[in-house]
Amino acid sequence: MYTAGMIEVYCPGCAELQVFEQPPCVDGHGVDCPEWLCLTCGVALLIDVPVEPAEWLALTLDSRAA
């Protein structure tokens, strides 16, 4: 239904399920970038996408430190 770069998750901004799109990553995360944007309200979320646990942890720590 959606392209690989889109997912449907609960949006805290819209208070309902919305389609999120992964924007072009400027931080070097590549396809494992945890950043997603709500197509409806534009809120940015860090979403736990299926990646290696160690990689996800590193990405999370990087994001919090930035």
**x/- letters, 30..59, toward Zn ion (CB under 5 A):** ---x-x--x-xx------------------
* C-alpha dihedral (31, 33, 34, 40), degrees to nearest 10: -80
Query: Could you tell me which stretch among 2-10, 21-29, 48-56 binds Zn ion (CB under 5 A)?
Result: 21-29
- Looking at the Cβ atoms of 5 and 13, the one nearer to Zn ion is 13
Distance of alpha carbon 59 from alpha carbon 10, whole angstroms: 21
Interaction site with Zn ion (CB under 5 A): 11, 13-14, 18, 25, 27, 29, 33, 35, 38, 40-41
